[in-house]
Chains A and B, each alone.
Chain A
Amino acid sequence: MALESIKEGLTTHFRIITKHKFGTFGALVLLFFSIIAIFAPYIAPHTPWETLRTSAGKLALLKPPSGEFLLGTTAMGRDLFSQMIFATRTTVYIGFVSGMISIIIGANIGLISGFYGGKLDEVLMRFTDIVWGMPFLPFIIILISLFGRKLEFVILAICLVIWRSSARVIRAQTLAIKQRQFILAAKARGCSNLRIIYRHIMPNILPLLILYTAFNIAWSVIAEAGASFLGFGDPTNLSWGGILFSLWISSKIRVAWWWFAAPAICIILLVSALVFISRSYEEVANPRLRKR
């Protein structure tokens, strides 16, 4: 019974995404990067920090892409292909974890604020306003510079600011649904507030939740890449932004185009994949768009 409903739910979401060419593309890209992230150590031919030599025995510094080094090498003679694979793992991990945590924070603040209303709503929304006043990337880099450049602090810093957009939208949607007949009926039946929030209202805003989960993951990826590019990434866990940072400080951009191209293309691909997925949910969450 439970299995049936899970299966049914999954097929519905699968249909929503694959209804559009863009959505399908986004899902495939996401799947591709997730597989790389999971199996990173098995795919990468070298570790990210190994200094390599060419078959002739010389140090392989700044070699362009070739059969030997698929994506070329860095100024330190490290294999960019292996670096990219391990960096995918870091980026996808940070993106998913902070995307999930921030949607949980944002959804709960939005649901509680919208459902209870009154003083609580006022306090929570003013707090959200304050967080909206925070400049996005500066807030993240200040927190990382204060806490230290560690993976978990990067995630924490991202989560502390990203939840704000989902909170406002989910509150607005909760306000609308709260007025519906079936919520009044549930209240009359004597359902507890928590049950109404999580069993009656939440399932009805599910498309919006998924839309904002995709958005939050996309923003986490952008934030992480930006912070690492500026030198505020975890130095032991290389990410795509971190690769761009090491290129930037080595000032080899004039010669090593491949060193720039690989991380740049991956960041754009992953972010646009997430935007495409969220766009296919936007139609479900906002039926007004469907007729266009």
Chain B
Amino acid sequence: MRTYIIRRGIYMFIAMFGVATILFFMFRMLPGDPTAQVISPALDTATQERMKAAFGLDKPMHIQYVIYLKNLVTMEWGRSFTSSRPVVDILVYRFWNTIFLMVAGLFFALVIGITMGMIMAWRRNSFLDTGSTVGALFFQSAPPYITGILLLIIFSYKLDLLPTGGMLTAGTSVDQGFGLFFSTDFLYHLILPTVTVSLYYLATPMLIMRDSMLEVMGSDFIELAKAKGLAPITVMIKHAARNALLAVVTVSAIMVGMAIGGQVVVETVFSWPGMGSLMVESALSHDYPVAQATFFVLAALIIILNFVADLSYCYLDPRIKLSNSSQG
């Protein structure tokens, strides 16, 4: 168990280090000189050289790499090319906006998905079962921006019920603390993006819950519980669902990892000021310090969540522990 955790932890750091390295080479070796944004080729050579020295660009590649890694760890991520604000400041604000939207969306996807999956397994092959499967698969095949735009057309443009985007109504004073996340105006703006994220991720927990419920319900201990004369609802929730949840927990951490990548389009559609839309803005305007840092934060989140998925898997299902640890 302990060696397993340590081994997984080491893999996690290797992966982060790998992503950082790939990023370094990606931004320095690809066609198109990213420095041309700041150090204009129109300047005279002496000034160009001085500026390069100031950015450490005159040093050989391997030294630049070491400096890059050091800065990455100490969170000295430079300044934005476009707004010249420190990248860290921009990111901190965007980070929590993204996390809040993601947690809200995934929370509903999981709660509704697990409940629906349970009912669907109980009423197998009913209209509800088939209907929900087809519906969930539809929303999974539809990219989230299509669902998002559809919701916008219905609820914002036609019915005029909900705001079209942003995080607060224009003109509202921005409360800097976490109090912001619980103001009614904020929650009002949160509805449509949350529904979009939830619909997109609903199918995974729902279908997995359904399938693993079916599997569990064939086991002897369920028969025993039934034979004891327990009410069907008790058997369903206390005995079957508890065991079926295992599979969902494992998948949900991986799902969260996927959701971070998918956040990009949802945030763009709803002009949500999170890391996803920041990523798109900075990539479009070639603001490389911001793009690079945002990408690294997103990747680090995914890698950490994959690690959590591995750990929860091995914590929840002791059968896996030893047999799987050697396979990596």
On A, residues with C-beta under 8 Å from B are 122, 125-127, 129-130, 132-139, 141-143, 145-148, 175, 222, 225-226, 229-232, 244, 253-254, 257, 260, 264, 267-268, 271-272, 275, 292
Contacts and interface: CB of A to CB of B under 8 A. Distances in A.
Contacts of B14: 126, 129-130
Contacts of B16: 133
B67 interface: no
Interface stretch (B51-59, B145-153, B166-174, B312-320): B145-153
B2 to A, nearest CB: 21
Contacts of B32: 146-148
B208 interface: no
B221 interface: no
Contact of A137 (B30, B149, B262): B262
Interface string B12-23: 001110110010
A92 B268 CA distance: 25
Contact of A145 (B157, B264, B284): B284
B186 interface: no
Give chain B's interface secondary structure class.
Answer: helix
A226 B145 contact: yes
B309 to A, nearest CB: 11
A33 to B, nearest CB: 14
Given A231-B284, A264-B146, A146 B27 contact: yes
Contact of A135 (B27, B152, B211, B261): B261
Given A133-B299, A137-B262, A141-B279, A146 B26 contact: yes
Given A135-B302, A253-B153, A260-B153, A230 B264 contact: yes
Given A130-B14, A141-B280, A230 B152 contact: no
Contacts of B30: 146-147
A264 B138 CA distance: 12
Which 3 residue pairs of A and B lie closest in terms of their CB atoms, listed nearest first? A130-B18, A136-B261, A135-B261
Given A139-B295, A142-B283, 18 more contacts: A126-B18, A130-B14, A130-B19, A133-B18, A133-B19, A135-B295, A137-B261, A137-B265, A138-B276, A138-B294, A146-B30, A226-B264, A253-B152, A253-B153, A257-B153, A268-B142, A272-B141, A292-B211
Contact of A292 (B22, B214, B262, B328): B214
B21 to A, nearest CB: 9
B303 interface: yes
Given A141-B279, A146-B32, A133 B295 contact: no
B26 A142 contact: yes
A204 to B, nearest CB: 20
A272 B138 contact: yes
A230 B265 contact: yes
Contacts of B214: 292
A229 B264 contact: no
A125 B291 CA distance: 27
Contacts of A253: 149, 152-153, 157
A143 B138 CA distance: 30
Contacts of B18: 126-127, 129-130, 133
B137 A141 contact: no
Nearest to A270: B141
A83 B302 CA distance: 37
B177 interface: no
B31 A267 contact: no
Contact of B146 (A127, A136, A254, A267): A267
Interface string B298-326: 11101100100000000000000000000
26 contacts: A122-B328, A130-B14, A132-B15, A133-B19, A133-B300, A135-B298, A135-B299, A137-B262, A138-B279, A141-B264, A141-B283, A142-B283, A145-B291, A146-B26, A175-B327, A226-B143, A226-B145, A226-B264, A229-B145, A231-B284, A253-B153, A264-B150, A267-B142, A267-B146, A272-B137, A272-B141
